[in-house]
Amino acid sequence: MFYLAVLAWVAGLVIDVTHTERAMGHLLSYVFPVIALLWLGWRLITGGPSAADVAAMVCLYAAAILVFWRVAATARSADVETDSRYALLPSILVMVAAMASGFVAVIGASASLAQLALALGFAAGGYLFWNYIAYLRRGQTFTFGATGAFGAAGIWLVLIDVMALFATRVSRWALLLAVLVFAADLVVRRVALEGHWARWLNPVLYGVLVALPAVAAIVIATVTADPGSEY
C-alpha cells in the first residue's frame, strides 16, 4: 500500500508542476486504478478469483473513476473561482469518505485499516480547518490541485481496495455507500444559502449533506456486522 500511496502523490505533484491537469490527469485517472488493483490483487487474480471477487474489482475500478472525476472537478472550481461556495468541497469529500470507511473498518474488525483511514480523515480535516479560515478571510482556499486529488483520493482508494478484497468482515455494501460520498457533491451544488451568514454556513451545510451517504454506510456496516466481531 505504501508504494501505491507514494506513486499517487508523486504523480499528482508531477501533474501540478508540469501543468498537465487535463491530459495527464485524465490518463492517470484511468491507469492508476488498474495499477492498484493489479498490484494488490495479483495473487487473487492468478489464483482464480470467484465471481464475487471479479465483481468487486469491476466495482472498485468504476468507483475509482468516479472518485477521481469528482475530486478533480471540485478541486478545479476551488482553485479557479474566487469566493466560490464550493471552495472547501474537495477536502470535505476526502475527510467524510475517509472517516466513514474508517468506522466501517472498525465495525468489520479491521483495526489496522481503520487506523489508516481515520488518520487520512483527520489529516483532511486539519487541511479543511485551515482552508476554512483562509476561505472566510479571502474567499479562496489553499490550492488542492492534482497533488491533493491524486494524493489524498488515491490513498483512500488503495485503502478501500484492500478492505473490499481482503478484509472479509468489512461490508462491501457499506464501502459502496462510502464511495457515493463523492457523488453527493452533484446534489450539493444545487443547494446554497444566501445572505450575510452564507459564507460561514454554506461549507457546514455541504458537510452535513455530503455526510448522509457516510452515515448510511456506517448504519449498513453495523446492521450487517458479523456477530463474532471482536470490535
pLDDT tens digits along 169-206: 899 999 999 999 999 888 877 777 777 777 788 888 88
What pLDDT digit, counting tens, does each position of 119-139 carry? Answer: 999 999 998 898 888 888 876
Residue type, 214: A
> Distance (Å, rounded) from C-alpha 142 to C-alpha 128?
10
Q: Which residue has the cell 487520512?
A: 120
Three cell numbers written together for 55 = 465483481
Domain boundaries, the chain: 2-223
Query: Cβ-count burial of 109 within 10 angstroms (0-12 exposed, 13-18 middle, 19+ buried)?
Result: middle
- The closest alpha carbon to 188, from 88, 102, 81, 72, belongs to 88
Determine the pLDDT at residue 35: 94
pLDDT at 55 over 70: yes
Q: Looking at the whole model, is its pTM more than 0.85?
A: yes
In percent, the amount of the chain with pLDDT more than 90 equals 43
Determine the pLDDT at residue 83: 52
Determine the pLDDT at residue 81: 56
What pLDDT digit, counting tens, does each position of 61-106 carry? Answer: 999 999 988 888 777 666 555 556 677 888 899 999 999 999 999 9
- The closest alpha carbon to 175, from 115, 104, 117, belongs to 104
**Concatenated DSSP letters for 162-211?**
HHHHH-TTS-HHHHHHHHGGGGTHHHHTT----STTHHHHHHHHHHHHHH
> Distance (Å, rounded) from C-alpha 80 to C-alpha 96?
23
